[in-house]
């Protein structure tokens, strides 16, 4: 699975050069590959570590979204 993902993520940018609209596939493939890597990484973790990882990701998400709100609303989140 890891090898297949590595191959697909390497081939996708190449396809983007030759195939119209293949760039979209690259974006989505990167995102899906990141999700699958994340799920695989959970394998060796305890439940407490997974909960801590979720809390950490959610905190980072909140920071990013608040920054986006400030950018989009011009200073008022």
Partner 1 sequence: MRLHLKSKPIITGLALVLLFSSLSFKCSGGPPNDPNSKFRTAAKASDDIAQGISQMIDLKRKLAQQGKISAAEESVITDLLLKVNTADKLFVARIKTMTTAPDANGKSALATLFAEVTSALAELNSKGFLPLGNGGAKSQLAKLLALATTAAQVIGTFLKP
> Which residues contribute to the site for partner 1 (CB under 8 A)?
21, 24, 27-28, 31-32, 34-36, 38-40, 42-48, 50-51, 53-55, 57-58, 60-62, 64-66, 68-69, 72-73
CA-CA distances (angstroms) from residue 29 to 9, 12, 16, 70, 72?
A: 7, 8, 12, 29, 27
State the nearest-atom distance from the C-beta of 3 to partner 1, in Å. 15
User: Is 8:31 a contact under the CB 8 Å cutoff?
Assistant: no
Cβ distance to partner 1 smaller for residue 14 or 71 = 71
State the nearest-atom distance from the C-beta of 47 to partner 1, in Å. 4
Three-state secondary-structure class, residue 46 = coil
């Amino acid at each position: 699975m890891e090898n297949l993902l590595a191959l697909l993520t390497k081939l996708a940018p190449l396809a983007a050069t030759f195939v119209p609209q293949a760039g979209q596939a690259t974006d989505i493939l990167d995102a899906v590959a990141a999700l699958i890597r994340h799920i695989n990484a959970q394998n060796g973790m305890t439940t407490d570590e997974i909960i801590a990882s979720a809390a950490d990701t959610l905190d980072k998400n909140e920071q990013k979204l608040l920054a986006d709100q400030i950018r989009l609303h011009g200073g008022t989140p």
